[in-house]
Structure 1
Amino acid sequence: MLTDIAEPVAVRTPGIGVRHNARAVRVVLHREILRFLDDRPRMISMLVQPVLWLFVIGTGIGSLVETAVPGIDYRTFIYPGMISMTIIMTAMFSAGSIVWDREFGFLREMLVAPISRTAIVTGKCLGGAVVATAQGLIILALAGLVGVPYDPVLILTMVVEMFLAAFTVTAFGVLIAAGLKNIQSFFGVVQMAVMPMLFLSGAMFPLANLPGWLQVLTTVNPLTYAVDPMRQAVFSHLDLSPTASALLNPGVSWGDWKVPVPLEIGLVTAAGLVLLAMAVARFRRAR
């Protein structure tokens, strides 16, 4: 009769600590970058629309409003808006890849991995921000073609502002995508929510002398506070008359008080962190 019973073997699983989650964030971020680099049609398509707006529509409309826009090419005016369009749309498409991952089963593998949901969402948002900023750099490289100088301070300022805006938009996209089951629904929500916000952000028109109802919509629009700092940065490096600057670059005002750029950047950053927390909370309920 057997009297010896084998002792159970202890199995050690990796602990979920800060270093473990940091590695998970890095892996998710790296995957987003590789996915973007491997998708050449997506890279090109994300550039076509802003380039068309900048050089085709901008040139056409500019010929009509050249007398109403003193001392500046209309393409120069909409240039910050086209950078914003590029990073916003790229960031939203990056966030939408969550829906693809759910459809093809990869998301389930990520959810059962021994990492926190916070690490997955943070890596996703950082990856989307990096990809969108890199895409925006291509439009930024076209600055000289629309009369914007290649100033190192301007370029550095724009890169920081682009990254913060892209991070916030990606977090918003992840929040939307976490509760959707198919990519058609995601793009429908993007068209319904993001495009009106983009057009109401002042990317295409000055914020001065607007009708009352439009002034209210632009003021409460979160994307306004992402677009305006970029325009402020560009216009600070242009040689314009005080009249032209006041007309084309009035900034955002709450009543009679002009909102300073640092506060706008702070609002975008705070919105990004809040949206990140909301996306994590919704992602924890995802299956």
Structure 2
Amino acid sequence: MSAITTSPSLSSDSVGSPNPTSARAGMSAAWMLARREWTRFFRQRNRVSAAIVQPLLFWMLFGTGLRGAFTVAGDQNFMEFFLPGTVGLIVLFTAIFATISVIEDRREGFMQSVLVSPVGRWPVLMGKVIGGSAIAWVQAMFFLMLVYLFGTASISSSIFLLMPLLALIAIGMCSLGMIVAWPMDSTQGFHAIMMLGLMPMWLLSGSFFPIPAWNDSTIGQMILGGMMRINPLSYSMLEMRRLIYPEVDFSSAGFAPSSATCWSVTIIATIVVTLIAWRLVRGSRKVDVIV
């Protein structure tokens, strides 16, 4: 008589219940991928300088050249107005540089070796997003510390809300970058899509010019204002502006939804793009063999 044995993978203890060992292995894999992003970042010193210096140059050049072009709420000049947009640009550039490594890893064969490992696919997304967003967050905070040091903005208790807001923006941008990078097989195509999509998204967030008011606007300004109002990044930039300049009343600027609305839109948008990225990473198999 032959004995009937039950495979451990099909036992009643494992079916329908999470495997803590697998979860721990997945977390370890995600942590190692995040650490790999940090190691790669600091070994590529041109990335360290470019991600900070280029937005800093934009802020100084545009801020100085357009300083008297217009004033906004609280009699802010353009250099003060453009400061939150510069922080957003730092996060944007870092997200682009961090997620483009997905294409490079696939070409080098590293991504295929990760995908066939027993830990599954979610550590790939988690490691890339956490690693890239952490780099973006640190760079943005370093830039803000320089701003506070030179007196362009005064530091206050609002910085404790500014830090998690920057973290949410960074996670959202890196997840959006993963959505673009995952099915791509060309770095040139990735840069084209990112510049065509993310740069207009940043420009239409109220970072470079104020959102036009509905009253006394032309048809073109009304269309532009509508596009800026449906842009989730507009709400993040407005709340960042409030937190950097808490003494300024932005309700007179026309478009000034409440802080609760800005936080809600930012959180929901971050969750949505992260879930889309996760579904794409989990469901797309044809990209596994792209070389």
TM-score range, shorter chain: 0.7 to 0.9
Distance 1:172 1:268, change over 3 A: same
Residue 19 of structure 1 is matched in structure 2 by 24
After superposition, where does 1:93-242 map in structure 2 within 5 Å? 93-144=97-148, 145=150, 147-151=152-156, 153-209=157-213, 211-236=221-246, 238=247, 240=248, 242=249
Residue 57 of structure 1 is matched in structure 2 by 62
Residue 263 of structure 1 is matched in structure 2 by 264
> TM-score, normalised on structure 1?
0.83
User: 1:155: Cα distance to partner?
Assistant: 2.2
1:102-121, CA deviations, whole angstroms, 9 ceiling, x for partnerless residues?
12221112112222101111
User: 1:252: Cα distance to partner?
Assistant: 4.4
Identity %: 24
Distance 1:140 1:88, change over 3 A: same
> TM-score, normalised on structure 2?
0.82
Gap runs ≥5 in structure 1: 1-11
Distance 1:222 1:284, change over 3 A: farther
User: 1:15: Cα distance to partner?
Assistant: 9.0
Residue 6 of structure 1 is matched in structure 2 by none
Gap runs ≥5 in structure 2: 1-8, 10-18, 215-220
1:77 to 81, 84, 89: 81
1:151-210, CA deviations, whole angstroms, 9 ceiling, x for partnerless residues?
2x3222222111111111111111111111121111111111111111011111122426
1:206 maps to amino acid: P
The alignment of Structure 1 onto Structure 2 pairs a total of residues equal to 264
Distance 1:42 1:16, change over 3 A: same
User: 1:131: Cα distance to partner?
Assistant: 0.8
- Partners of 1:80 and 1:277 lie apart in 2 by 29
- Partners of 1:26 and 1:184 lie apart in 2 by 29
1:53 maps to amino acid: F
Distance 1:83 1:31, change over 3 A: same
2:235 maps to amino acid: Y
1:271 maps to amino acid: V
Residue 4 of structure 2 is matched in structure 1 by none
Residue 38 of structure 1 is matched in structure 2 by 43
1:124 maps to amino acid: K
Root-mean-square deviation over aligned CA pairs: 2.5
